[in-house]
Amino acid sequence: MNDQFVHDISNILEQARQRAKTAVNLSMVYAYYEIGKRIVLEEQQGEQRAAYGQQVLSELSRYLTSQFGKGFSVANLKNIRQFYLVYSNDQIGETVFSQSVNLPTVDNGRKFYLSWSHYLKLMRIENKDERHFYEIEAAKNGWSLSELKRQYNSSLYERLALSTDKDKVYRLALQGQTVETAKDAVKDPYVLEFLGLPELPEYSETELETRIIDHLQQFLLELGTGFAYIGRQVRFTFNEEHFRVDLVFYNRLLRCFVLFDLKIGELKHQDIGQMQMYVHYYDRMVKLPEENPTIGIILCKDKNNAVVEMTLPEDNAQIFASKYETVLPSKEALQKLLAEQTGDEASL
């Protein structure tokens, strides 16, 4: 038989199995919502609510375990009850979910898009706007549970909120990350804890680049939506002199090249000038007429914002300098900065 023929048939079956698995996972999420609802209604009938509630959970746990096996401990039933309490009063816009059309709704009109494991994590996020953001991003980008946890632990919501205009912060909870301009595709800082560099007393720019390539999947996840890898140390020649761009990506949403230059020390104005030359070359010699202007991002360990602002033109929309962190940032510190920026500390 033709190898391609066998491969195609295997792909069809694998996709069917994946869809079936997804359907089963979603069915259990809807079932747990209904179970949680019934538990809450039953508890409300007891005169001594706390004691009666514990009795309900204990008896229900014994019965369900005898009938259906593992997965119905008292602790898990408490999670199911909490799931209902959180999401019975939780609404989220459906227009951002491409797969929302054929999904059922629960009594409050809510739809669910992720696995039970995802919602176990999400329902513990107290800030509703932040919770909605991670739900939207996980569904849009197909994040696994580990990817969701990593993005949450790296404070993606706070970092994007700090990197965007104040008037656009509220859109994160309604639409997730939207990439419409060059600035939308840039984070500050980037969190690269997955590179394993904190344990090293010192490292070179070559080592940093090599670690990024070795962990390219995680780096693409950190970059965000729409990025595709083109190459490392991409060479071009100008006036018989050779230059190399550390990392080259393409963003299919913005339809433009994105160049990265890596700096392990403090950013200098010469670094910005070098990136300007790289961007100009790509705009004039590489990009197609129908593509948008190239974006240049200098990834540095430290920067002086005053130097950056003075070096770049006032109407700059192509070149950015962002810090990178090799350890997870303090979520509390970022939340404090965000509260100061938005003037809405109570919402956090």
pLDDT at 348: 42
Counting residues of the chain whose pLDDT is more than 70, the rounded percentage is 92
For the chain, the average pLDDT equals: 87
Architecture of domain 190-328: 3-Layer(aba) Sandwich (3.40)
- pLDDT tens column, 249-302: 999 999 999 999 999 988 999 999 999 999 999 999 999 999 999 999 999 998
Helix (H) or strand (E) holding 274: helix 269-281
Determine if the peptide bond prior to 189 is cis (ω within 30°): yes
pLDDT at 346: 40
The CA R_g of the chain, rounded to the nearest whole Å, is 24
Over 90: is that where the pLDDT of 245 sits? yes
- DSSP type of residue 238: E
Who has greater pLDDT, 174 or 155?
Answer: 155
CB distance 173 to 132 below 8 Å: yes
Span(s) in the chain for CATH 3.40.1350.10? 190-328
Output the pTM of the full model. 0.82
Q: Could you tell me how many residues make up the chain?
A: 348
- What are the φ and ψ backbone dihedral angles of 159, each rounded to 5 degrees? -65, -40
pLDDT at 95: 76
- Strand 295-302 versus strand 319-325 pairing type: parallel
Over 90: is that where the pLDDT of 218 sits? yes
For 131, left (φ over 0), alpha (ψ -120 to 50), or beta?
Answer: alpha
Lowest mean pLDDT, pick from 95-109, 135-149, 196-210: 95-109
- Convert 46-88 into a string of H (helix), E (strand) and C (coil): CCCHHHHHHHHHHHHHHHHHHHHCCCCCHHHHHHHHHHHHHHC
pLDDT at 4: 73
The number of angstroms, rounded, from the C-alpha of 71 to the middle of its chain's C-alpha atoms is 29
CB distance 257 to 230 below 8 Å: yes
Q: Is the dihedral of CA 269, 274, 279, 284 positive or negative?
A: positive
pLDDT at 191: 94
Who has greater pLDDT, 274 or 178?
Answer: 274
pLDDT at 46: 56
CA distance linking residue 181 with residue 157, whole number of Å: 18
- pLDDT tens column, 294-348: 999 999 998 888 888 888 888 888 999 999 999 888 888 888 888 877 665 444 4
As a whole number, mean pLDDT of residues 38-59 equals 76
**pLDDT band at 155; cut points 50, 70, 90:** very high
CA distance linking residue 324 with residue 337, whole number of Å: 17
pLDDT at 344: 53
- What are the φ and ψ backbone dihedral angles of 300, each rounded to 5 degrees? -130, 160
pLDDT at 335: 84
